[in-house]
Amino acid sequence: MVQKEMVPAKPPKGLVGRVVSWYLENYLANLFAGAWEPQPEGPLPLDIPQASPQQVQRCVEILSRAKRPLMVLGSQALLTPTSADKLRAAVETLGVPCFLGGMARGLLGRNHPLHIRENRSAALKKADVIVLAGTVCDFRLSYGRVLSHSSKIIIVNRNREEMLLNSDIFWKPQEAVQGDVGSFVLKLVEGLQGQTWAPDWVEELREADRQKEQTFREKAAMPVAQHLN
């Protein structure tokens, strides 16, 4: 059908017409090359990178010495093979306060004590160890400028290019792990074996959350002449 529309039915007589006809026939041949050859059916094989035991161990050692750890979970954390339920249980067991973004929003529920919503930039500046789990240092993190130079940064991502985006410009990772995010978090929990951190760090973040929320509620309650505040 495409050939009938594009290629003249009768061979042209002029030189220009023959050149155009030759070009169109070759173009169509390349455009539909292999279109009718049999192709394999079924799901494509998966190639999911995994963090090496040595990388996991180094990250475990960094986190074990942290006083104010913080985790930022992104969409990649919800990819298979790790289920959302297993990831949630691992985050709860780990006990590190979290900011959630992308498809990870809602992972911990509305009022979970580890879920921090407000003042992310300020919290990132105060944290001594930050785990960027499936989070990219793009405009959402000011290209890495919100990360403190005194903080130790652990970043894990399946894609190396995304993982190192803007690194050595505005930020620098202590450990850059190319691997599946959910599996990495589960391995962290195994390596730390129930280690806990002082509750005052989480409470400080939650208090900042409450103050910000109260400010919003007060602004919303202010009367205005018309319409919404």
Evaluate whether 187 touches 51 at the Cβ level (below 8 Å). Answer: yes
Q: Are 114 and 70 in contact (CB under 8 A)?
A: no
Q: What is the pLDDT of residue 184?
A: 97
Tokens of 143: 């290209």
Cis peptide before 12 (omega within 30 of 0): no
Residue 171 per-residue DSSP state: B
Q: Are 43 and 69 in contact (CB under 8 A)?
A: no
Q: Which domains does the chain have, with CATH numbers?
A: 53-215 (3.40.50.1220)
> pLDDT by residue (tens digit) across 3-58?
888 887 788 888 888 898 889 889 988 988 888 888 888 888 888 999 999 999 99
Task: Check if the beta carbon of residue 175 is closer than 8 Å to that of residue 51.
Answer: no
Mind listing the pLDDT tens digit for each residue in 120-131?
999 999 999 999
Number of Cβ atoms within 10 Å of the Cβ of 211: 12
| pLDDT tens digits along 53-111 | 999 999 999 999 999 999 999 999 999 899 999 999 999 999 999 999 999 999 998 88
Distances (CA, A) of 138 to 144, 145, 171, 172, 205: 7, 10, 11, 14, 24
The answer to whether 109 touches 84, Cβ cutoff 8 Å, is no
Residue type at position 24: L
| 154 and 174 Cβ atoms separated by less than 8 Å | yes
Are 97 and 116 contacting, i.e. CB atoms less than 8 angstroms apart? yes
